Chain A
């Protein structure tokens, strides 16, 4: 089965740039989606198909995907960005959805 690997935690100072990676075999050939989950809340889609933003998501949130790594980038980090972030892909070979293990973003 397809596996997505994320770092458990990333820390960044306010105003700086946070980068959260998602590793997978040839993930660049798949469409990657990213979700933000704040404590006690349901996940919210923040990036879809590698680098598209749903309405309401600020431009400082972006994504990229190439080779074996997809990356979620949050520029000018704010305290409100502190949350867990999950990457997701659809494995067409099994018709299964796969989530990464999640990354806790801490704003110092």
Chain B
């Protein structure tokens, strides 16, 4: 089972709403990632969790709040977003963050529209 599952696939939210994106993997991976991808651009790393601890925060605004409840789950809590935050949010996982050759598996993403 080489799947990273993301929900919801589509989300429309107002600037005052609070919502969450969810990600799940059952491959026993200990590294999980959030990427943001704007149209026609490459993915940009937001956060990395390694062994359930936040390892990297790429200077992401605090209106994005990641959470890793356990090694299989990764959430991204959204609050007071701006229209420019509209993008595809990709979750990914790999066996170990420090092993460079490990395959990073991606989910299909959650399309977020902020109105």
Q: Do A and B come from one complex?
A: no
**Residues of B bordering A, CB below 8 Å:** none
Which residues of A does B touch, CB under 8 Å? none
